[in-house]
Amino acid sequence: MTADERLAVVIMAAGKGTRMKNPNKAKVMYTVAGKPMVEHVVDLASRLHSSRTMVIVGWQKQSIIEHLARTHPGVLCVEQNPQLGTAHAVMQAGPALQGYDGDLIVLSGDVPLLSYGTMAGMIEFHRRGKGVATVLTAVLPDPTGYGRIIRDGSGQVIAIVEQKDATPSQRDVKEINSGIYVFRSLRLFEALQHVTPENAQKEYYLTDVFGYFWRNKLPVLAVPTIDPREVQGVNTLAQLEEIRSVMESR
């Protein structure tokens, strides 16, 4: 297998999920179609033939670790403690990726509707376009809470702005960052060394690696999903019920 064919996956699953109103349960362990959300995402990584799958755990980590040890014993759970943002989460996978030269997918453990077809198409798009990074986007009627995709007049992505840092005009943008990416692994970890917590949340944002790529004229690609429901995350019990309804309709 060449470097252009290698694939590894990092799954974000460390969040507390405060709005789920149950401090004793990890958000990604809420079930959809009889399985915890995180298990659906690990299943997807398996279908994509990931050679290394790492789940970043934190809040109520033991329940996730024990469950995946039963269902997917080849998966590595890596703790993020303290939790200092999405870039910091990915950094925790660094030791397990020592010597790895290939593509790295970043997925979210609370996005269980993402399909194999969408991800396979995204990987193909990324490799054909020879990007150092590719972002999966979606156009939503209500983009509240998501980072916005900012494009120039020619349609090229020039910025990804988090909701809390967005100007009023940027908040009007409907195209959002799904938080799902494909990176060239070595370029990603090179860029992570330049990320700082200079933002409203004082966290290390994974989206800040794109600034490094743009400053160094490295190609960043973006591809929209056909069905925006696929990238819908779960932050509340109401959103969980919506996800369950979509899954049942499938």
Q: Can you tell me whether residue 182 is helix, strand or coil?
A: strand
Please, which contacts does 72-77 make with residues 24 or more away whose CB atoms are closer than 8 Å?
72/39, 72/42, 72/46, 75/42, 76/52
Identify whether 250 is a catalytic site residue: no
Cβ atoms 212, 96 nearer than 8 A = no
Round to whole Å and give the CA distance between 23 and 190.
36
Residues whose CB falls within 8 Å of the CB of residue 67, separated by 6 or more in sequence, listed in order: 29, 36, 38, 39
Which of 6, 19, 151, 229 is flagged as catalytic? 19
Task: Say how many residues make up the chain.
Answer: 250
DSSP string, 6-67: -EEEEEEE----GGGS-TTS-GGGSEETTEEHHHHHHHHHHHTT-SEEEEEE-TTHHHHHHH
Active site positions, annotated: 19
